[in-house]
Structure 1
């Protein structure tokens, strides 16, 4: 993979050096998602709006499907200036900017409206700018949904129902602490192994957003889907500062405006994807449960306490988000 990336970067550099000088600037944008994904559709809107606003002076060349490597590798290419932009999960960015960690806190947001008030307001914009010292300037957030529990053996209606259940989680300490705080047995497991693990009873269930629940086919072997929406970690559209610093003031305005408009479009694409996925789940016969979220939030309060203990400088940020 590393050789493939280096080879592609060399080819790009050769292509650019061979072009005749024009007024057109090309923004190379790499991401890992398939072209059917709502976030990719949002990126297509970014491409369309930017080229329209700049009257063709700024063009976007998109490399989807992980053509240039993983999210981590795309960030490295951004930092050295080999590509101009990328889309990654905020969870990946927490390795550079600690403030992105807060988005993993369970039940941080009351609802979608609260989440976007935070992301698109002063707090969210401040976090986007903090990556600039690592050559990773945030442009906007994309909706990446909310994760909820699904199980094959027992319905989860209250936190009490989680007791004794083995729930697959990402290898993330906050997710592990959340499930364990409710009495469940958090079980980190590779995503590719999860279907068989649920089918064979190695785990009792897992957690994810509706489009992923469907695209993974996990709905085929899960009887219950509990929409507790415990975490909502957004995706982030980034531009490398090496590319950003080469743009004129007007070009920067065009890029930011295109990003903002694409974020609004992506929300609609995501909602449509969720609606479609939930219909598939319902038609398959999975029982959809809408629990009292406050009960789950109360049980997981210790996770926030531990987070603030590890990152004391984040306490004010967490409090500001909760009261926003």
Structure 2
């Protein structure tokens, strides 16, 4: 079992390690050591240290050592923490434009999401973060959520009719399930296994690694790769900390961050492939290559309800038009 430092001990360790560096930047992540996002920032740190000949160091604190996502985002805004890795979903109340990225079936596939985030739209989103004292350095891959259940393969929207599907307590998710003809059943994640096993619900939705690590594949063997939700992750830096760096070091940090996104995305793809291999070996049936268009068409009332402003509607159109 890995020993987790307390916040105080972690900060003391950072001070000790950073003694040889002219600038030491502390970066927070709630995921455990070894997780793709953590390793992505570590790759960034390694490149920055090498290219600045040890002048600029990034110390990565995984496992919520510096606090949970919401808390560390606020600390990063105020410059108490220098950098944070977090999901777009956590920024919804801080940077409103991120709410659009919680809409179902917004992206056609993972490559489409990467093309959007690495292009002009990603730059535009970054500008919105700067208004909240945050500098976006990189967009990471948080995976795609898909449906799985204990009853039957979901090959079409008709196969979802009447199913009871566990979702997180979120109005968008509840309305998505209603639009698909299923019954949304919000419940704590820890209760899902037994709820499927006892027939309280028919299934749930998540990504491959979660489907695997939770053991849900044991009780819900039908996994349909519909990828209804892809919420980007990002690495953001405190504007206060950013402004302390020289233009040259800022450029090094930006380039290292962009390179780290390639590393992180590959690590995530590897994790998904490993999880898929394990669940298939255990008897899970993977349904892929479905026609997503009927699912997308069914989302019209969801988009009418949540993409209400002209700005959000325009953003949705531009995202869908991105090649």
Per the normalisation by structure 2, the TM-score is 0.92
In 2, are the aligned partners of 1:181 and 1:300 still within 8 Å (CA)?
yes
Looking at structure 2, the residues matched to 41 and 245 of structure 1 have their Cα atoms a distance apart, in angstroms, of 25
Distance of aligned partners of 1:15 and 1:266 in 2 relative to their CA distance in 1, 3 Å threshold = closer
| Secondary structure, counterpart of 1:268 in structure 2 | helix
Residue 283 of structure 1 corresponds to which residue in structure 2? 281
Looking at structure 2, the residues matched to 8 and 191 of structure 1 have their Cα atoms a distance apart, in angstroms, of 31
1:233-252 equivalent positions in 2, closer than 5 A? 233-252=231-250
In 2, are the aligned partners of 1:130 and 1:137 still within 8 Å (CA)?
no
- How far apart are 1:254 and its partner, in Å? 1.0
Match of 1:88 among 86, 89, 114: 86
Residue 302 of structure 1 corresponds to which residue in structure 2? 301
Residue 195 of structure 1 corresponds to which residue in structure 2? 193
Match of 2:155 among 148, 154, 157: 157
After TM superposition, the structure 1 stretch with the greater mean CA deviation from structure 2, 181-190 or 298-307, is 298-307
For structure 2, list consecutive stretches of 5 or more residues without a partner in the other structure.
Answer: 1-5
In 1, are the aligned partners of 2:21 and 2:54 still within 8 Å (CA)?
no
In 2, are the aligned partners of 1:28 and 1:85 still within 8 Å (CA)?
yes
- How far apart are 1:113 and its partner, in Å? 2.2
Looking at structure 2, the residues matched to 14 and 179 of structure 1 have their Cα atoms a distance apart, in angstroms, of 46
- 1:272-310 Cα offsets, whole Å, 9 max, x none, are 11111111111111111112111211122221122222x
Distance of aligned partners of 1:23 and 1:30 in 2 relative to their CA distance in 1, 3 Å threshold = closer
| Secondary structure, counterpart of 2:181 in structure 1 | coil
In 1, are the aligned partners of 2:85 and 2:235 still within 8 Å (CA)?
yes
**Aligned pair 1:29/2:37, yes or no?**
no
1:28-67 equivalent positions in 2, closer than 5 A? 28-67=26-65
In 1, are the aligned partners of 2:226 and 2:292 still within 8 Å (CA)?
yes
Looking at structure 1, the residues matched to 156 and 91 of structure 2 have their Cα atoms a distance apart, in angstroms, of 32
1:235-274 equivalent positions in 2, closer than 5 A? 235-274=233-272
Looking at structure 2, the residues matched to 77 and 255 of structure 1 have their Cα atoms a distance apart, in angstroms, of 20
**Aligned pair 1:316/2:314, yes or no?**
yes
Distance of aligned partners of 1:269 and 1:13 in 2 relative to their CA distance in 1, 3 Å threshold = closer
For structure 1, list consecutive stretches of 5 or more residues without a partner in the other structure.
Answer: none
Distance of aligned partners of 1:14 and 1:216 in 2 relative to their CA distance in 1, 3 Å threshold = closer
| Secondary structure, counterpart of 1:194 in structure 2 | helix
Per the normalisation by structure 1, the TM-score is 0.92
- 1:135-158 Cα offsets, whole Å, 9 max, x none, are 222111111111100001232221
Distance of aligned partners of 1:260 and 1:201 in 2 relative to their CA distance in 1, 3 Å threshold = same
In 1, are the aligned partners of 2:221 and 2:284 still within 8 Å (CA)?
yes
Looking at structure 1, the residues matched to 226 and 93 of structure 2 have their Cα atoms a distance apart, in angstroms, of 27
